Structure 1
Amino acid sequence: MSGRQARWQPHNDSRRERIVLSAVELIEQAPAGVEVPIVQIAENAGLAKSVVYRQFAGRDELDRRIRSEIADRFVADIDDALDIGDGSIREILVRTVGGVVTWIEEHPRLHEFLRTGPSETDPDVDAMSALIGTIAASTRALVTGLAGVVGVTDDGSADTMTFAIVSMTEATVTRWANDPNPVLTREQLIEEVASYAWHVVDGVARRHGLTLDPDQQLVEIISQLATGAG
């Protein structure tokens, strides 16, 4: 990058961010299935349409960047719910599933847009699959950490289990949110999906010789298991 390009980079980064945030705002407000045109995104950002095309190679690149922004917001909200320092396994599962339900309820158009193609991080993988993988990886770190304190070697179960739970949760909540006459209430859905997740966790734990109490504080479980392992 030349010196001139380097001087302009912060300015260009700022414009790119304005464009992406403008697009996210308009997508939130748009009716289901309606594409927001670039000229409207530019106007909302207070820029000329030509500026958008100078910052992004085309609509595909802009859409990938928008999906990355949406995915980052989703992950940030779910990461807060996954705080292992606060709550029992059951409470953490209920809180996390509730976080997914709340996000999809409050941002239906963003969730819809996230499912329309890839993000900028991996153009060969659709954005929703990449998002599920990111959340599963975060959850997997907690599971492998728990296994590590008692000397259990990861045999791949953690990877399969966390991906299965996260993908099941997203798909089930999406189906419920898109159903005009859902059988379950919001609270029933959260309890049901959290229950499914717990049974998966419990089954994998028992296969490795661990008996977990879903209503005990998770930090206490980790401490007790670590003491017993020592």
Structure 2
Amino acid sequence: MPDQGSTTRPPDRRAARWTGQRTKRRAEFVEAAIAAIGEYGPAVSTEQIAARAGVARPQLYRHFRDAEELHRAVGRRAAELIVAEMAPLLSRPGGAPARMIDQAVRTLVRWLAEHANLYRYVTQRAIAGAGGRQDVVADIKTTLGTQLSALLGGYLAAFDLDRRIAEPIAFGLVGFVESATGRWLSEPGSLTEEELADYLASWVWGTLDHVLRSAGVSVDPDQPFPL
């Protein structure tokens, strides 16, 4: 005779379906927000975001507690996009260092330039430092720096060099390129995007070349590194 005191309830498919629909709808609102930021700039209003999503403003707040939660969701999505763009270039060993550096630097500069309003939206809220928004910018740099550190560590080990220096080099280079590009977006002057990428790539290689030469290692930047 079955135990009357222990009944197993079937899964609530309606609740699961509602959760899935809610998650999908939130993602759609975030994409609408990114599109609105691209159109109206980093000072975009929630009214403009709602209009872009094709809903009334109060409907946004059925899916986000407040504007701050929407800001954080946009920031996380921006981080996902930029990391997805850069990850293949920072996790794939092999190839000539000059080409690898050029591809990585040019990709980062191009992405930031193409998404300048989104970048400003995220960084301006990071500067404000409210609601933990600083974490979005820090997470992007941390993820890229960690990936580059692993790549550099492998090459340093191949040359029998101290791979402990890979992390400070990697994080320094990521911060350098991001900061220089951010400043250029605000004050480009007469420098073109291509010229900026060329200069940054050469400076990055100059840093790495100095590290290697200081340890007595000389390499040809146009020849593949040892794996």
Shorter chain as normaliser: what TM range?
0.7 to 0.9
Which of 179, 189, 193 is the matching residue for 1:186? 193
Query: What is the Cα deviation at residue 44 of structure 1?
Result: 2.5
Query: What is the Cα deviation at residue 83 of structure 1?
Result: 6.3
Cα distance in 2, alignment partners of residues 85 and 22 from structure 1: 36
Cα distance in 2, alignment partners of residues 25 and 86 from structure 1: 36
Cα distance in 1, alignment partners of residues 122 and 187 from structure 2: 19
Q: 1:66-110: per-residue Cα shift (whole Å, max 9, x none)?
A: 011112111222234446456411111112111122112211101
| Structure-1-length-normalised TM-score | 0.80
Counterpart residue identity of residue 143, structure 1:
L
Q: How many residues align?
A: 212
Cα distance in 2, alignment partners of residues 89 and 153 from structure 1: 19
5 Å-filtered alignment, 1:28-107, equals: 28-31=38-41, 33-37=42-46, 39-82=47-90, 84=92, 87-107=95-115
Q: Secondary structure at the match of 1:54?
A: coil
Q: Residue in 1 aligned with 2:5?
A: none
Query: What is the Cα deviation at residue 133 of structure 1?
Result: 1.6
Q: Residue in 2 aligned with 1:136?
A: 145
| Identical amino acids, percent of aligned pairs | 28
The runs of 4+ residues in structure 1 deviating greater than 6 Å are none
Q: Which runs of 5+ in 1 are unaligned?
A: 223-230
Q: Give the root-mean-square deviation of aligned CA atoms.
A: 2.5
Worse-matched range after superposition: 197-206 or 44-53: 44-53
Q: Evaluate the alpha carbon distance shift between residue 28 and residue 161 of structure 1 in structure 2; reply closer, same or farther with a 3 A threshold.
A: same
Q: Residue in 1 aligned with 2:136?
A: 127
Worse-matched range after superposition: 18-27 or 132-141: 132-141
Larger Rg: 2
Q: Which runs of 5+ in 2 are unaligned?
A: 1-10
Query: What is the Cα deviation at residue 153 of structure 1?
Result: 4.5
Cα distance in 1, alignment partners of residues 133 and 193 from structure 2: 34
- 8 Å CA contact 2:93–2:151 kept in 1: the answer is no
- 8 Å CA contact 1:19–1:52 kept in 2: the answer is yes
Q: Residue in 1 aligned with 2:117?
A: 109
Counterpart residue identity of residue 154, structure 1:
R
Worse-matched range after superposition: 2-11 or 159-168: 2-11
- 8 Å CA contact 2:145–2:171 kept in 1: the answer is yes
Cα distance in 2, alignment partners of residues 48 and 214 from structure 1: 56
Which of 150, 154, 163 is the matching residue for 1:145? 154
